[in-house]
Structure formats: structure tokens, C-alpha cells
Amino acid sequence: MSDAPTDASGRPAGGPGASAPPEPPSPAAFHLGPGHVIVHGNGAFVAEFGRSSVGLPAREALVGLPREAFELMDVVYREGRPLARWIDTPDGRRRLVVVARRDPVSGETYGVTTHLRRVDTTTPAPGGPDRSSD
């Protein structure tokens, strides 16, 4: 039995077939209602937008994001389907992923979850539909 470190799949860590390093944390938040009031942000979200952004409507708190980010949140809230798009931010081009938060019994959409990813644009995305709004 070897004591060599392994990754989660049991393969030797760092060796051939090892998993790629995890993506660094990126801002993610839970928003409530049609005004997208921020009710929770992960550490990366708080580091980027400030602790004072929690409790405010997204349009007031996330001033560095373009209008298209909020329009995407509105569409996801209204239609209840996940969408993603590229947006330009002060830190460069980022991928905004927005998913509806729904009551599992009634199906009512009561908010959205956002994830603002830094994505390596030099590497093509894996196969499958983009489900992008742009």
C-alpha cells in the first residue's frame, strides 16, 4: 500500500492523469425578489464588492457591473431558466452565470443565484450548448 498523495479520484496527485488545479474562488451571491436584494455573498463576493453590499439591491451595490448583468438577472428571475453571458467589468471580461432560486413545491421563483467567473478565454469551452443570452 502506497502512502503517496492522491487526488479525489484516487489517482496520484500531480502525476499523469491528475486533475487540473481548482478554479480560484470567484464571487457568488444569493439575491431575493425582483429587485435582486443581496442576501448572501461568499468570501470572494464580499472581497470584491464589500460587506456593505449585502442587504442592498444589486443595482445599487454592484456598481462596477454593466447594465447587461442586471438585465440577465431580470430575465432569469422572470423566466426561471438559467442563463450565462460574457460581461465587461473593471477587472476584465468575465462570465456571469445566473440561476433561478425556486421553491421545490410551488415552483415559484423567489430569487436568483449569481456566479461571476474568471474564465480562461484562450481555451475553448467543453462541448455542449452554451445556453448564453448573447
Domain count, the chain: 1
Query: Which CATH number belongs to the domain containing residue 46 in this structure?
Result: 3.30.450.20
CA 7 to chain CA centroid, nearest Å: 25
Determine the structural domain holding residue 42 and report its residue range: 28-117
The residue that leads in pLDDT, 127 or 101, is 101
58 domain residue, yes or no: yes
129 domain residue, yes or no: no
Closest CA to 96 of 123, 126, 57, 66: 66
The residue that leads in pLDDT, 126 or 25, is 25
65 domain residue, yes or no: yes
- Rg (the chain; Cα; Å): 18
pLDDT above 70: percentage of residues in the chain: 71
Digit-coded pLDDT (tens) for 72-88: 999 999 999 999 999 99
123 domain residue, yes or no: no
Tell me the mean pLDDT in the region 50-60: 97
124 domain residue, yes or no: no
66 domain residue, yes or no: yes
91/71 Cα distance (integer angstroms): 20
Give the bridge partners for 87, in sequence order: 94
Whether residue 13 is predicted with pLDDT greater than 50 in this model: the reply is yes
Closest CA to 38 of 48, 94, 82: 48
Closest CA to 35 of 67, 68, 95, 77: 77
82 domain residue, yes or no: yes
Digit-coded pLDDT (tens) for 79-120: 999 999 999 998 899 999 999 999 999 999 999 999 999 876
Does this model's pTM top 0.95? My answer is no
The CB density around residue 86, as the number of other CB atoms within 10 Å, is 14
